[in-house]
Amino acid sequence: MKKHPLVLCTHISLAYAIHKETICLPSNPCYYTDHQFLCFLINVYAMKTARENLKILIIEDMEDDVELVKRVLTKEGIPFTIYCVDQRDEYLKGLMEFKPNVILSDHSLPQFNSVEALEICHRIGVDVPFILVTGTVSEEFAVNCLKNGADNYVLKGNLSRLPSAILNALKQREIEKNRKKAERELHKQNQILVKVNNELDRFVYSVSHNLRSPLMSVQGLLNIARKEVEQNSVARLNEYFDMMDASIDKLDNTLKEILDYSKNARVDIEIGSINVKEMLVACIDKLKYITGADQLKTNIIIDGSESIYCDFFRLNVIFINLISNAINYRDINKETNTLLITVRTFPYKTSLTFQDNGIGIFSDLKDKVFEMFYRASDRSNGSGLGLYIVKETIDKLEGKVSIDSQIGIGTTVEIDIPFGVNSVR
């Protein structure tokens, strides 16, 4: 047989990688045959698993057979707890309350059988090894059991196989669990890539338009102003300057939104103590020079503590965008424009409500307002990134956002974020 010149340190490294504990190696560890080396690795895994107290649900109506199973497992040094059932109701209770690591099932009981037990596992989503422990069975029956999802079968006349069957089944389930987890992560990453690619196409087109449009306006106004200066006509220069200033503000706002979007996507969450009321007041003050800000009456209600732990940058982005929307989409036909901001703080959660009496949104457009570059009103002078950034920011915080709106009545935005008074990370 082929020999493997594996030095002692190699074995220790392999053992550590498998169960992260010191083990005792067999004598003369430097040379093993292929079979011996494989057995060594299996034994290392078995040693790790054996240290964990196995919860075994056994379907059996013969006490002597249960005692035989206990004796075999005890002999192999495997700690375990057994929950024995022989009826369907007891079995269901055991699955729900005992929460086994392994199920051992005799094939045929007076009121129950292994086929039904296995179907119940599949139906309610119990994902643990299911091993048939029974008397003599035909090869065809054994194959059908394996096809139906059983992990292995052990004859009662050869129970010495049971410990290795249990350990191998646990190992295979762990491998399968990790494989499925990797597949889910891969699927999630693929979905993110598809989303990013779709957004990138729209982003390039829309941003180039939103950046070029105000620049072209400024350029056009400069050309007009230059000609009028040449003709000694300066009466409208201040008007042109105001229009340039508005175009530059629009360009600046677009760039700020792009930076907010980029920073939210790339920068890790940083948790710190935030006084929510102070932040809201600061955001309102920051926006006081926006046209119409002086016409909006804002009221802040804090239910609970004013201080929470959250990400300062991201919470500020949410507040700025929602308050500026309330200003920009106020109803000029109403005598009073109002914005009610309600904050409810809990130990590990914060609920925010922004309720205005502005122009509102048509019901068939509500689901689209969080899309990139979407404008729900012809009064929009922005890039259409505001609410999209709000949604992306809340998603980054693993929160939830919803919007309710009626034309002529107003809009309510409700937000839940998993950060509260005690959310120190």
User: Taking the CB of residue 101, how many other CB atoms lie within 10 A of it?
Assistant: 20
The two counts, helices (H) then strands (E), for the chain are 11, 16
| Cα–Cα distance for residue pair 223/220, rounded to 1 Å | 5
Which pLDDT score, from 0 to 100, does residue 425 have? 55
Q: Which residues of 121-139 are buried (b: 16+ CB within 10 A; e: fewer)?
A: beeeebebbbbbbbeebee
Top-confidence residue, 310 or 18: 310
β-strands 337-346, 296-303 pairing: parallel
**Closest by CA position to 381, among listed 257, 247, 240:** 247
| Cα–Cα distance for residue pair 103/59, rounded to 1 Å | 8
| Cα–Cα distance for residue pair 205/291, rounded to 1 Å | 28
Give the CA distances from residue 372 to residues 72, 258, 388, 417, in Å, rounded to whole numbers and listed in that order: 64, 11, 5, 22
Assess whether pLDDT exceeds 90 at residue 336. Answer: yes
pLDDT in tens, 373-415: 666 665 656 666 778 889 999 999 999 999 999 999 999 999 9
In the chain, the largest separation of any two C-alpha atoms, in whole Å, equals: 113
- The answer to whether 366 and 347 have CB atoms below 8 angstroms apart is no
Structure tokens at 388: 């999209």
| Cα–Cα distance for residue pair 267/11, rounded to 1 Å | 42
Which pLDDT score, from 0 to 100, does residue 114 have? 84
| Cα–Cα distance for residue pair 161/29, rounded to 1 Å | 26
pLDDT in tens, 22-40: 444 444 444 455 555 545 5
Q: Which residues of 381-417 are buried (b: 16+ CB within 10 A; e: fewer)?
A: ebbbbbbbbbbbbbeebebebebebeeeebbebebbb
Top-confidence residue, 201 or 354: 354
Give the CA distances from residue 198 to residues 66, 140, 201, 202, 204, in Å, rounded to whole numbers and listed in that order: 60, 52, 6, 7, 10
Assess whether pLDDT exceeds 80 at residue 196. Answer: no
pLDDT in tens, 238-258: 888 888 888 887 777 777 777
**Tell me, what amino acid is at 225?**
A
Structure tokens at 129: 């090894």
Which pLDDT score, from 0 to 100, does residue 395 have? 92
**Closest by CA position to 131, among listed 111, 110, 114, 109:** 114
Assess whether pLDDT exceeds 60 at residue 356. Answer: yes
Structure tokens at 128: 């643990």
Looking at residue 309, the DSSP 8-state letter turns out to be E
Provide the β-strand partners of residue 31. 5
Cβ burial of 167 (10 Å; 0-12, 13-18, 19+) is buried
- The answer to whether 151 and 130 have CB atoms below 8 angstroms apart is yes
Which value, to the nearest 10 degrees, does the dihedral of the CA atoms of residues 22, 23, 25, 29 take?
-40
Assess whether pLDDT exceeds 50 at residue 5. Answer: no
pLDDT in tens, 403-413: 999 999 999 99
Q: Which of 43-57, 90-104, 251-265, 404-418 has the lowest mean pLDDT?
A: 43-57
β-strands 31-33, 3-5 pairing: antiparallel
Owner of token pair 């005598």: 335
- The answer to whether 294 and 422 have CB atoms below 8 angstroms apart is no
Average pLDDT over residues 277-305: 92
Top-confidence residue, 183 or 385: 183
Looking at residue 268, the DSSP 8-state letter turns out to be P
Treating both helix axes as pointing N-terminal to C-terminal, what angle do 63-75 and 162-230 enclose, rounded to 10 degrees? Answer: 70
| Cα–Cα distance for residue pair 392/396, rounded to 1 Å | 6
| Cα–Cα distance for residue pair 87/59, rounded to 1 Å | 8
**Tell me, what amino acid is at 20?**
K
Owner of token pair 């080396």: 37
Which pLDDT score, from 0 to 100, does residue 361 have? 87
Structural domains of the chain, ranges and CATH numbers in brackets? 3-49 (no CATH), 50-175 (3.40.50.2300), 269-425 (3.30.565.10)
- The answer to whether 93 and 138 have CB atoms below 8 angstroms apart is no
Average pLDDT over residues 133-156: 82
| Cα–Cα distance for residue pair 322/264, rounded to 1 Å | 16
Provide the β-strand partners of residue 274. 308
Owner of token pair 């457009």: 365
